Amino acid sequence: MSTLSKLFKFVASRMPRVRGFGSRFYFGHPFLDAWFAWFPLNQIQFDGAAVGEIYNVASRIDERKGESWIVEWTREAERVCAYAETLHNGEHTFSAANAFLRAYTYYRTAHLATDPTNYPKELIATYEGLSKCYARFVELSDIQAKAIKIPLRSDGRGDAQHLHGWFFHAAKPADETPKPTLLWLSGAESIAEDVYWWCAAEGIRRGFNVLAADLPGDTATRIENPNVLIEGAGDRGVLSVVDYALARPDVDADAFYVYGISMGGYRAGRLAQIDNRATGIIANAPMLNASEVLAAVKDIYKASKEAHGWAYRMFWQYGVNADQKLKTALEELVDGVWGRFVVDPSSISVPFLTMAGENELGHEGIRQAKEFHETCGSRAKGLRITTAAEGAGAHCQLDNFPLARQIVFDWIEDRMRERTTS
């Protein structure tokens, strides 16, 4: 590493951490370090990444050059993907499936840093790469999962639109009886494929179907369906996925649960307010008013180029005009779009669990999560704040996925036992 790079790393390490993260994992630059913790460190679980591979790539990245992140992770993805094809051609099916899953992770990590303004070609190329590798993993593994198209509720204009998603079948004895099912609602930077690590790989082993879909306002939806934008509070997309899930004969409508993370935590709280078909809902972490939690985003125009790229990606996802001044566009995103994302928890009646990391998006994030719990109208409500002492103080437990999954599924299993004995 050059002296200049070492100096940059030293200075960057003293910058404020990304909200929701209290620890440093590898990089001095806080934005890159947060991405590194989310992807690919978390993907080591379920053979989704290898320690040697990810630290080898990390050592090649020049923190002073944002494009270095995209180039190096893409290079590793291409290498591992080619290796997976070689394994498959040699009839090593199990090994090929795992290699495709690792290649997915590296494409996914590269994709996280792309945006349609600065890296439009890379945005599409990395998405196509991760989609291909994930599909190959599912095809070659023993997991019973299928890509699905979910009809989007009509907007009154007669346009037939669909949402991309995945449905994972419970890995219990192969019978035709409906199974308990968990719907995962993703965050603003997530895609449906991410569900594997958040809850699908473990959920299917616990006997649950697991479902995830890209909604209006999500990255993948903008790529797959460029004309589908989020409307108002985003209710139409979430309700469409619930409609789809409960219409399936393999879904037990009396054991249908919803789990939302990050922006999906808002969506989960919103769903609990407007619809009572779920048996129980978990929000990690819920918001009363998304724009107030995310108000600090309006200051990104003062931050680094990487942060600007993140902002342009958000503009594109949510349909904000990126040609205006950056400061003005940020205000429109936070106050205009996210300002419509509000929830009244007093009207909630379904069993509801509030989760949050103690560093949850700063003071306002954790304050709203606690107030949400206090004012939630459900008679069966719970609150779980995870801490740094547990290795789980970060936003949505991005530093401790196993603990987060245990909390989610154990709460659901407790609710199921209560229903059985009552």
Contact 351, 279 (CB under 8 A): yes
Section 367-384 average pLDDT: 98
**pLDDT at position 270:** 98
**pLDDT at position 172:** 64
- Per the prediction, the chain carries an average pLDDT of 92
CATH value of 3-134 in 3.40.50.300, 3.40.50.12370, 1.20.1440.110, 3.30.300.30: 1.20.1440.110
Section 22-44 average pLDDT: 82
Q: What is the DSSP letter of 206?
A: T
- Name the residue with tokens 């589908």: 228
Return the biggest CA–CA distance within the chain: 67
**pLDDT at position 126:** 98
Sequence ranges of the chain with CATH classification 3.40.50.1820: 145-289+341-421
Q: Is 6 a residue whose pLDDT tops 70?
A: no
Residue 33 burial (CB count, 10 A): 22
Q: Is 370 a residue whose pLDDT tops 80?
A: yes
Strand partners, 382: 353
Sequence ranges of the chain with CATH classification 1.20.1440.110: 3-134
Contact 400, 372 (CB under 8 A): no
User: Model-level pTM greater than 0.85?
Assistant: yes
Fold of 145-289+341-421: Rossmann fold (3.40.50)
- Report pLDDT digits (tens) over 163-201: 999 999 998 656 678 999 999 999 999 999 999 999 999
